[in-house]
């Protein structure tokens, strides 16, 4: 039996999933680099998120590791349950631990999608975000190659990450966007993209919802997650952790939905 989805449900990329997702960036080594210290624990954590806690929205990126977490997700969850959405991101290179740089060359983006398909062992990425807009490459060119791969059946739905109102407005004039992923939490509460997404009917995936753990130190995760869940029904937070105890606390904090 599938557990009750924590915090209710939301439709993202055509799939009804739990509003509480799981961000997987922390399932690597220091600096979001290389393998986790305990690979078996990371695999177990992914299985617990889905099979114990009912989380059906798993968020990752090819840059996490790089490549580490996509491989972990495959090893932990493949074949993926029908109700689970695996979302990934492309368009970021990792020169070294702790370092990130956008690279929106269309040939590179295509190669990233092809590699993610192989690592995740799927024929289509159900939701694939442009991880960052590369200011050195025309935005139209970056989105056009994503749309071309969507037309080819390699991407199901396209998302945007770390974007402004202006970025989103430019893209949606010509192409549908399935989700936007930006920072939102009680320490970073002012993102005008939230309201634009609400008006356009676009799910807003809030990353760093607990501000990298800062917001859990006094009262645990519940107040910060309640604030997000009550902000609007289009908001889907994706807290992350590498520890089973923290995952248990996060899932327990939102059982029954927002306050």
Q: Is residue 88 part of a domain?
A: yes
What is the DSSP pairing of strand 179-183 with strand 101-102?
unpaired
Total length of the chain: 259
> For residue 157, is it within any domain?
yes
Q: What pLDDT does 167 receive? A: 96
Domain that holds residue 89: 9-254
- Counting the structural domains of the chain, the total is 1
Q: Over range 199-211, report the average pLDDT.
A: 96
pLDDT tens column, 44-66 = 999 999 999 999 999 999 999 99
Tokens of 103: 């690279």
Q: What is the pTM of this model?
A: 0.96
Three-state secondary-structure class, residue 179: strand
Cα–Cα nearest to 106, from 128, 66, 127, 134? 134
Residue 249: predicted pLDDT: 95
**Is 259 a domain residue?**
no
For residue 10, the cross-strand partners are: 17
Nearest Cα residue to 210 out of 247, 180, 245, 178: 247
Residue 259 scores a pLDDT above 80: no
Q: Tell me, what CATH number does 246's domain have?
A: 3.20.20.100
Q: Evaluate the CA torsion angle 247, 253, 254, 258 in order and state its sign.
A: negative
| Other beta carbons within 10 Å of 166 | 11
CB 27 within 8 A of CB 68: yes
Give the separation between CA 110 and CA 9, rounded to whole angstroms.
32
pLDDT at 1: 64
Instruction: State the CB neighbour count (10 A cutoff) for residue 160.
Output: 27
Active-site positions read 64
Predicted pLDDT of residue 234: 98
- The whole-number average pLDDT for the span 203-215 is 93
> Tens digit of pLDDT for each residue in 224-235?
999 999 999 999
Q: What angle do CA 179, 216, 194 make, to 5 degrees?
A: 25
The separation between CA 161 and the C-alpha centre of its own chain, rounded to angstroms, equals: 9
- Establish if 41 belongs to a structural domain: yes
Residues in CB range of 178: below 8 A, 6 or more apart: 12, 13, 14, 127, 157, 158, 159, 202, 203
Residue 2 within any structural domain of the chain: no
Residue 32 inside a domain? The answer is yes
The mean pLDDT of 112-132, rounded to a whole number, is 98
Which parts of 152-242 fold into alpha helices (H)? 165-172, 193-200, 222-231
Cα–Cα nearest to 62, from 28, 36, 38, 39: 28
Residue 1 domain-assigned (yes or no): no
Q: Is residue 201 part of a domain?
A: yes
Tens of pLDDT, residues 162-194: 999 999 999 998 899 999 999 999 999 999 999
């Amino acid at each position: 039996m599938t557990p009750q989805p924590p915090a209710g449900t939301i439709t993202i990329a055509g799939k009804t999933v739990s509003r509480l997702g799981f961000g997987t960036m922390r399932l690597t080594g220091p600096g979001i680099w290389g393998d986790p210290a305990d690979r078996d624990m990371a695999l177990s954590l992914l299985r617990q998120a889905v099979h114990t806690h009912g989380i059906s929205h798993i968020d990752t990126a090819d840059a996490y590791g790089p490549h580490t977490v996509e491989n972990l997700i495959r090893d932990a969850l493949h074949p993926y349950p029908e109700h689970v959405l695996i979302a990934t991101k492309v368009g970021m290179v990792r020169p070294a631990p702790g370092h990130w740089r956008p690279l929106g060359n269309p040939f590179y983006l295509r190669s990233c999608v092809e590699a993610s398909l192989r690592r995740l062992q799927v024929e289509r990425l159900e939701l694939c975000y442009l991880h960052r807009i590369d200011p050195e490459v025309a935005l139209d060119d970056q989105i056009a190659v994503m749309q071309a791969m969507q037309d080819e059946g390699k991407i199901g739905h396209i998302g945007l990450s770390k974007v402004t109102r202006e970025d989103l407005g430019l893209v949606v004039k010509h192409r549908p966007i399935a989700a936007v992923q930006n920072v939102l939490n009680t320490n970073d509460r002012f993102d005008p993209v939230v309201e634009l997404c609400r008006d356009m009917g676009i799910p807003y995936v809030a990353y760093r919802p607990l501000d990298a753990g800062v917001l859990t130190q006094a009262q645990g995760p519940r107040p910060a997650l309640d604030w997000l869940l009550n902000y609007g029904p289009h908001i889907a937070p994706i807290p992350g952790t590498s520890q089973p105890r923290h995952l248990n606390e996060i899932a327990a904090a939102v059982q029954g939905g927002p306050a």
